[in-house]
């Protein structure tokens, strides 16, 4: 695996995901060169926990494409950050036995950025574009014929002597990932053969992810302790991994390296202000603000974002989905409303 630059472990905020990156996975068996998030990704399709429907659907597509020696259909994956969209793209490449070229829309501002990548793709290779809804219009338009007919149309020359030159491309698969599917233009969305939503993980799946990560760090952990972390990681594997690292730090400092117990997890997570329902300081700030300054709602997203001093896109794609999922927040036509359950939780 050759990593030119990648996201750090603290990057599930929308802003940091804008960091330009390009990851080139050479061969599946290449040695891992970093012991961070990248090396914690499952390296086999079967090690990918949860998202059962998607795995079923994709294994059929992979088998069909291998049998027919054709590229996979273009795939659009959407859902909150940290749920495994990038990981799934890498695993698909592994399954097919091809390279996965990973980039993100902010790194592909100019058409030549995207051209540079697609002209160098080889037959059946995968191109993963993160935050695809942020592609510029010119880059997006360049992708239309590339996705549909595996060709790009370039304008050569200027003024009256200009002409269109078509260049054939290798047959490739585009995997687009986004946290904001509604922001993708319909011509682009229509060109994806498979569109799938990533859901939050249940406690059992998260517990398996926590135990897998603990194992990766050679950390012994009790069932009760791994379950506690699973309950408090907002249904998100990236956060589960991060909490394991924080608990590990805590155990090291406390000199409790033998076995991670539930009491140690509770102590560590309380210190991080992560409560029993997995709410962190930002979640509580949002809910408290909603009650104190907007009478519990309804209040528009932009007003709420302004009163919190947050960016509304981050609020909508990173903070809100989990609160909506656990029934602490409602989205109504007139704005956001706090639920009775959330009020009860805040008063505990
Ligand atoms: P996204 O692209 O949706 O933001 P990533 O694919 O980068 O999310 O996943 C973040 C981290 O979470 C990965 O490094 C990986 O270790 C872990 N992860 C995600 N999904 C799974 C899963 N289903 N099983 C095990 N680990 C996972």
- Residue 8 pLDDT more than 80? no
**Is the shortest distance between the CB of 209 and ligand 1 below 6 Å?**
yes
Per-residue pLDDT, averaged over 47-72, amounts to 93
Contacts 24+ apart (CB under 8 A), 226-233: 227/203, 227/262, 228/262, 228/265, 228/266, 228/269, 229/265, 229/269, 230/203, 230/204, 230/206, 231/203, 231/206, 231/276, 231/277, 231/278, 232/269, 232/274, 232/275, 232/276, 232/277, 232/278, 233/206, 233/278
Give the active site residues: 85-86, 130, 179, 238
Q: What is the per-residue pLDDT for 43? A: 85
CA dihedral sign, ordered 178, 183, 188, 189: positive
Going from the Cα of 154 to the center of ligand 1, the distance in angstroms, rounded, reads 37
Interval 221-257: pLDDT, tens: 999 999 999 999 999 999 999 999 999 999 998 877 6
Going from the Cα of 48 to the center of ligand 1, the distance in angstroms, rounded, reads 9
Please report which residue ranges of 122-236 form alpha helices under DSSP H: 137-149, 186-189, 203-216, 223-231
Going from the Cα of 213 to the center of ligand 1, the distance in angstroms, rounded, reads 11
- Please give the domain boundaries of the chain with CATH numbers for all domains: 2-197 (3.40.50.300), 203-271 (1.10.8.60), 281-346 (1.10.10.10)
Closest-CA residue to 173 (of 211, 212, 143, 139)? 143
> How high does pLDDT run on average in the chain?
86
Burial of 279 (0-12, 13-18, 19+ CB in 10 A): buried
Cα of first residue to Cα of last residue in the chain, in angstroms, is 48
Residue 249 · residue 265 · CB < 8 Å: no
Q: What is the per-residue pLDDT for 246? A: 94
**Is the shortest distance between the CB of 140 and ligand 1 below 6 Å?**
no
User: Residue 29: which region, alpha, beta or left (left: phi > 0; alpha: psi -120 to 50)?
Assistant: alpha
Per-residue pLDDT, averaged over 56-78, amounts to 95
Euclidean distance between CA atoms 305 and 320, whole angstroms: 11
Backbone angles phi, psi at 227, to 5 degrees: -70, -40
Per-residue pLDDT, averaged over 101-120, amounts to 91
Going from the Cα of 294 to the center of ligand 1, the distance in angstroms, rounded, reads 36
Residue 21 CB partners (closer than 8 Å, separation 6+) = 4, 5, 6, 7, 102, 103, 104, 107, 130
**Is the shortest distance between the CB of 241 and ligand 1 below 6 Å?**
yes
Residue 119 · residue 166 · CB < 8 Å: no
Per-residue pLDDT, averaged over 285-314, amounts to 92
Q: What is the per-residue pLDDT for 111? A: 85
Q: What is the per-residue pLDDT for 163? A: 85
What is the residue with the minimal CA distance to atom 6 of ligand 1? Answer: 84
User: Residue 234: which region, alpha, beta or left (left: phi > 0; alpha: psi -120 to 50)?
Assistant: left
Question: How would residue 140 be classed by pLDDT, with cut points 50, 70 and 90?
Answer: very high
Per-residue pLDDT, averaged over 290-311, amounts to 92
Strands 173-178 and 126-130, how do they pair? Answer: parallel
Q: What is the per-residue pLDDT for 258? A: 78
**Is the shortest distance between the CB of 133 and ligand 1 below 6 Å?**
no
Question: How would residue 171 be classed by pLDDT, with cut points 50, 70 and 90?
Answer: very high
What is the number of residues in the chain? Answer: 348
User: Residue 175: which region, alpha, beta or left (left: phi > 0; alpha: psi -120 to 50)?
Assistant: beta
Interval 87-99: pLDDT, tens: 999 999 999 999 9
- Residue 14 pLDDT more than 90? no
DSSP 1-19: -EEEE---TT--STTGGGS
């Amino acid at each position: 695996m050759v990593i030119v630059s990648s996201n750090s472990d603290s990057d599930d905020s929308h802003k940091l995901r804008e960091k330009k990156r390009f990851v080139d996975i050479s061969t599946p068996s290449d040695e891992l060169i970093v012991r961070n998030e990248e090396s914690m990704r499952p390296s086999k399709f079967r090690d990918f926990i949860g998202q059962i429907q998607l795995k079923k659907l994709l294994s059929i597509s992979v088998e069909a494409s291998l049998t027919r020696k054709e590229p996979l259909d273009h795939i659009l994956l959407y859902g909150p950050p940290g749920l495994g969209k990038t990981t799934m793209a890498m695993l698909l490449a592994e399954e097919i036995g091809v390279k996965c070229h990973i980039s993100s829309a902010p790194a592909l501002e100019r058409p030549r950025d995207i051209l540079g990548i697609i002209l160098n793709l080889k037959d059946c290779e995968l191109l993963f574009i993160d935050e695809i809804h942020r592609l510029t219009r010119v880059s997006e338009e360049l992708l239309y014929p590339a996705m549909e007919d595996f060709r790009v149309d370039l304008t050569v020359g200027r003024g009256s002597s200009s002409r269109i030159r078509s260049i054939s491309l290798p047959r490739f698969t585009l995997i687009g990932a986004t946290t904001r599917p509604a922001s993708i233009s319909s011509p682009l969305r229509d060109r994806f053969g498979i569109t799938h939503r990533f859901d939050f993980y249940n406690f059992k799946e998260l517990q398996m992810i926590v135990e897998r990560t603990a194992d990766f760090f050679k950390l012994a952990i009790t069932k009760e302790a791994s379950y506690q972390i699973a309950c408090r990681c907002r249904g998100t594997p990236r956060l589960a991994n991060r909490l394991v690292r924080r608990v590990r730090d805590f155990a090291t400092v406390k000199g409790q390296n033998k076995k991670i117990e539930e009491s140690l997890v509770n102590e560590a997570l309380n210190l991080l202000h992560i409560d029993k329902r997995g709410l962190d300081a930002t979640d509580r700030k949002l809910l408290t603000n909603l009650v104190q300054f907007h009478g519990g709602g309804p209040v528009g997203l932009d007003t709420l974002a302004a009163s919190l001093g947050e960016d509304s896109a981050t609020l909508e794609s990173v903070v809100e989905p989990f609160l909506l999922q656990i029934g602490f927040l409602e989205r109504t036509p007139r704005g956001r409303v706090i639920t009775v359950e959330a009020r009860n939780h805040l008063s505990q």
